């Protein structure tokens, strides 16, 4: 029946407020264009609603409606038929019943008894007699009569009221037609009452019971009392038959009933929610917000995991309908508990759902609370959760604050790149590529590229291919950034000029790196190695204490050492203690393979376990002045002689004209091709495998194998010598007696002293 809402009474009238409805005639005209099957189902369902209302009036109220006609039937927004027109409703046994005085004026359908004896004849009849006959005429009209021919009533409505024939059936369904004839029976006692008509139609397999709209409505009315199996069956039926239902029926009949059940919670909420979200797709945004959003959001507070999972899975359907205030205050406080759930499926679904509401989270939540959860999620035991977390961070990157980007993105992606799960590593690379605009050029060069390079040799081809793509992208970005940088930011210093070269490149107050021809060093492997070695030696020397350097420079006897001897000690850190490249070339004999040979003939008197890590015997008597006026070696010690270094056939070396400074100067920068320097001194600056700082002689132990990586530099030095002179003639010490060795060493010392004196004289001149 039509739902009553309110009433307003004035001195002249009474206004009754009901639910929003429309006349049946309007709905019939609109449904005329619907498919025949759908229209028939709707009409039969509507007749059930009217029969149900009449049965209530006749049986429960013991009254007669008295005016069952098209004008008394209305259609609700859910296309459900509602019986109104209660103006004549009264009890026929009441002598003052309105039915008797107003029936004629209301143009009510007259049953055969009224035609014969007037309205007063109803006093002796069953209360349902007039309503049953009117219901039969209503069935004929809704199936067969159009609005413009409304007055064309069936022949049985006029005396002598013959029963309807099969030819007069029209569009009335065959299953309904026999009962339709009983409703129009001319004898009141044999006439089928509305309650009996309802009972027949709802019997199993009958015309009402087979109607899908009727079945859905009956199941929804008893949904709360149904068992779980019946509820699941109904939900499956609704989900499968939604397309065949009238949209109005779905939105305004089924949906409110399911939402009402959803509000009660319980274990069925997880099964009801997907159906509700599916039915709500056809609602307007306003209707969706008013009808669905509120009840659904309240479910986030439920502890039931099934409901929580259904909410997370269905979030894409309604996330865009949520406003920011609702997300911050109602959704997020309950949603974040999913990050710490003990069930992995809930944790993963929670991670996947964040991107849907990220745009409506506050800055505090986005840059603090959420990232704390994601940091823990990257350590989750489940690889899929770690992978999805990395993807989520990549998608959130543009929304993060500047400081958050700088602190979070590179560590997060680097962690993913090192993950044991291959797809997590790929996700880390792809997320880093997607977030490239979030990194500055300097960050890409110093942080991003180092993190990616390890993936270039990943064991999985999928990761390697993605890593190469990432490197290509980042290198291009760095190239663009580097093109905006100045050529140099170094300020030239007024330093003492060095003959034959420039100041050492790089650090600690040195002049800018050499340019011009020196830049050609990086075009070859040997040149690059030389450049790197020169920088390393220079930098290491500048890290030593100044007091140590001063103590070494004050030793004048260093000029009397052998030509092949290394620098005096490690206490001479600065480049000023090193001879110039020109002087080294002119005075040194060829020993390009000395380090290799030394490795082949280890010294027996210097065991590694007793030295100080640099290959020097700490118990030697001359440690304090290892390179003084004494001999370079003990001529009486056959095992320790330098024969191994002298056995190599000396190659002709063309020394330059001796034009150098008489006093030590700062080490010159590397020229076009690196000049040879004293090999032992360079070797002594390299960090040993186990070293403890001592101020002893830097002579490397011959027992330690050191590869000769400097031979090419000596060959280049020989090739660049400007003037040709006679090659140095050094007699091999191999096979000589002790006396002969002592004589040869004395001769060499005297020769070196003469050369030094000559250099001093040239400098003073």
The answer as to whether 263 is a domain residue is: no
Q: What pLDDT, on a 0 to 100 scale, did the predictor assign at position 149?
A: 64
Residues 340 and 403 in one domain: no
pLDDT surpassing 90 at residue 199: yes
Residues 390 and 347 in one domain: no
The answer as to whether 505 is a domain residue is: no
Residues 177 and 87 in one domain: yes
Q: Which residue has the higher pLDDT, 158 or 646?
A: 158
Q: Which residue has the higher pLDDT, 411 or 615?
A: 411
Out of 154-158, 647-651, 663-667, 693-697, the most confident range is 154-158
Mean pLDDT of 322-337: 94
Residues 688 and 542 in one domain: yes
pTM flag (> 0.85): no
pLDDT in tens, 347-406: 999 999 999 999 999 999 999 999 999 999 999 999 999 999 999 999 999 999 999 999
Distance (Å, whole) CA 251 – CA 281: 10
pLDDT in tens, 87-96: 889 998 888 8
Q: What pLDDT, on a 0 to 100 scale, did the predictor assign at position 169?
A: 87
Q: What pLDDT, on a 0 to 100 scale, did the predictor assign at position 492?
A: 64
Distance (Å, whole) CA 572 – CA 551: 8
Residues 76 and 146 in one domain: yes
| Structural domains in the chain (count) | 4
Domain's final residue, options 461, 483, 505? 483
Q: What pLDDT, on a 0 to 100 scale, did the predictor assign at position 452?
A: 96
Residues 352 and 396 in one domain: no
Q: Token pair of 400, please?
A: 């993060």
Of 305, 219, 318, 301, the C-alpha closest to 263 is 301
The answer as to whether 224 is a domain residue is: no
Q: What pLDDT, on a 0 to 100 scale, did the predictor assign at position 197?
A: 96
User: Of how many residues is the chain composed?
Assistant: 765
Q: Which long-range contacts (CB under 8 A, 24 or more apart) does 19-22 make?
A: 19/76, 19/82, 20/76, 20/77, 21/74, 21/75, 21/76, 21/82, 21/84, 22/74, 22/75
Q: What pLDDT, on a 0 to 100 scale, did the predictor assign at position 160?
A: 78
pLDDT band at 732 (very low <50, low <70, confident <90, very high): low
Reported in sequence order, the residue ranges of 525-660 that DSSP labels E, i.e. its strands, are none
Distance (Å, whole) CA 527 – CA 532: 9
CATH of the domain at 139: 1.10.510.10
Residues 329 and 402 in one domain: no
Residues 435 and 567 in one domain: no
Distance (Å, whole) CA 497 – CA 360: 66
The answer as to whether 143 is a domain residue is: yes
Residues 568 and 682 in one domain: yes
The answer as to whether 156 is a domain residue is: yes
pLDDT band at 554 (very low <50, low <70, confident <90, very high): very low
CATH of the domain at 291: 1.25.10.10
- 582 forms beta bridges with none
Residues 469 and 585 in one domain: no
Residues 351 and 421 in one domain: no
pLDDT surpassing 70 at residue 692: no
Three-point CA angle 165, 29, 83, nearest 5°: 75
The edge-to-edge listing of strands for the beta sheet with 73-75 is: 22-23, 73-75, 81-83
The answer as to whether 188 is a domain residue is: yes
**607, 707 contact by CB (below 8 A):** no
pLDDT in tens, 256-313: 999 988 877 777 888 999 999 999 888 888 989 989 999 999 999 988 899 999 999 9
Q: What pLDDT, on a 0 to 100 scale, did the predictor assign at position 489?
A: 83
pLDDT surpassing 90 at residue 738: no
The answer as to whether 158 is a domain residue is: yes
The answer as to whether 514 is a domain residue is: no
Domain's final residue, options 429, 459, 483? 483
Q: Which domain holds residue 332?
A: 273-361
Taking the C-alpha atoms of 710, 715, 720 and 722 in order, what is their torsion angle to the nearest 10 degrees? 120
Q: Which residue has the higher pLDDT, 659 or 75?
A: 75
pLDDT band at 570 (very low <50, low <70, confident <90, very high): very low
Domain's final residue, options 428, 463, 483? 483
Residues 345 and 471 in one domain: no
């Amino acid at each position: 029946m039509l739902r009553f809402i309110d009433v307003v009474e004035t001195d002249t009238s009474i206004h009754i407020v009901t639910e929003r409805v429309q006349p049946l005639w309007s709905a019939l005209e609109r449904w005329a264009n619907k498919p025949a099957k759908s229209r028939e189902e709707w009409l039969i369902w509507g007749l059930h609603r009217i029969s149900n209302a009449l049965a209530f009036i006749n049986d429960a109220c013991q009254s007669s409606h008295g005016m069952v006609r098209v004008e008394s039937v209305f259609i609700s927004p859910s296309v459900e038929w509602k019986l109104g027109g209660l103006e004549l409703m009264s009890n026929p046994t009441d002598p003052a019943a309105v039915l008797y005085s107003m029936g004629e004026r209301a143009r009510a359908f007259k049953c055969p008894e009224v035609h014969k004896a007037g309205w007063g004849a109803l006093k002796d009849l069953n209360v349902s007699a007039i309503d049953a006959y009117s219901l039969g005429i209503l069935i004929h009209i809704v199936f067969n009569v159009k609005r413009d021919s409304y007055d064309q009533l069936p022949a049985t409505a006029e005396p002598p009221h013959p029963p309807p024939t099969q030819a007069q059936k029209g569009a009335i369904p065959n299953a309904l037609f026999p009962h339709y004839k009983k409703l129009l029976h001319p004898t009141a006692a044999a006439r089928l009452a509305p309650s009996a008509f309802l009972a027949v139609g709802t019997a199993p397999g009958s015309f009402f019971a087979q109607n899908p709209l009727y079945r859905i409505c009956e199941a929804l009315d008893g949904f709360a009392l149904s068992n779980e199996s019946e509820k699941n069956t109904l939900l499956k039926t609704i989900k499968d038959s939604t397309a065949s239902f009238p949209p109005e029926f779905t939105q305004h009949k089924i949906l409110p009933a399911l939402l009402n059940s959803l509000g009660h919670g319980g274990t069925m909420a997880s099964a009801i929610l997907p159906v509700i979200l599916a039915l709500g797709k056809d609602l307007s945004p306003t209707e969706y917000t008013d009808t669905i959003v509120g009840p659904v959001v309240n479910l986030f507070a439920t502890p039931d995991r099934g409901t929580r999972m259904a909410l997370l899975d269905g979030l894409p359907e309604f996330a865009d309908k949520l406003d920011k205030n609702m997300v911050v205050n109602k959704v997020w406080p309950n949603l974040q508990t999913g990050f710490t759930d003990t069930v992995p499926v809930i944790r993963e679904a929670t991670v996947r759902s964040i991107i849907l509401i990220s745009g409506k989270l506050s800055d505090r939540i986005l840059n603090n609370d959420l990232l704390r959860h994601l940091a823990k999620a990257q350590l989750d035991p489940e690889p899929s959760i770690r992978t999805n977390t990395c993807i989520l961070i990549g998608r959130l990157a543009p929304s993060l604050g500047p400081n958050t980007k700088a602190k979070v993105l590179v560590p997060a992606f680097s962690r993913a790149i090192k993950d044991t799960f291959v797809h997590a590593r790929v996700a880390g690379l792809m997320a880093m590529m997607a977030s490239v605009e979030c990194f500055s050029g300097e960050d890409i060069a110093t942080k991003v590229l180092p993190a990616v390079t390890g993936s270039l040799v990943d064991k999985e081809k999928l990761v390697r291919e993605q890593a190469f793509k990432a490197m290509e992208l980042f290198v291009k970005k760095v190239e663009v950034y580097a093109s905006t940088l100045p050529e140099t930011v170094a300020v030239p210093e007024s330093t003492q000029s060095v003959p034959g070269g420039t100041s050492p490149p790089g650090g600690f107050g040195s002049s800018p790196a050499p340019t011009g021809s020196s830049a050609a060093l990086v075009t070859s492997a040997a040149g690059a190695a030389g450049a790197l070695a020169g920088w390393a030696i220079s930098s290491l020397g500048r890290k030593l204490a100044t007091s140590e350097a001063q103590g070494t420079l004050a030793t004048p006897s260093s000029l009397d050492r052998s030509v092949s001897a290394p620098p005096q000690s490690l206490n001479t850190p600065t480049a000023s203690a090193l001879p110039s490249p020109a002087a080294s070339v002119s005075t040194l004999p060829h020993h390009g393979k000395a380090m290799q040979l030394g490795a082949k003939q280890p010294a027996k008197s210097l065991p590694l376990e007793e030295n100080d890590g640099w290959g020097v015997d700490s118990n030697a008597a001359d440690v304090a002045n290892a390179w003084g006026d004494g001999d370079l070696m003990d001529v009486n010690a056959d095992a320790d002689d330098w024969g191994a270094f002298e056995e190599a056939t000396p190659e002709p070396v063309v020394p330059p004209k001796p034009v150098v400074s008489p006093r030590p100067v700062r080490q010159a920068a590397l020229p076009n091709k690196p000049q040879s320097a004293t090999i032992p001194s360079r070797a002594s600056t390299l960090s040993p495998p186990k070293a403890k700082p001592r101020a002893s002689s830097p002579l490397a132990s011959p027992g330690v194998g050191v590869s000769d990586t400097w031979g090419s530099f000596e060959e280049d030095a020989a090739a660049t010598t400007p003037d040709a002179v006679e090659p140095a003639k050094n007699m091999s010490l191999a096979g000589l007696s002790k006396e002969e060795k002592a004589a040869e060493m004395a001769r060499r010392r005297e020769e070196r002293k003469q050369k030094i004196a000559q250099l001093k004289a040239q400098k003073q001149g």
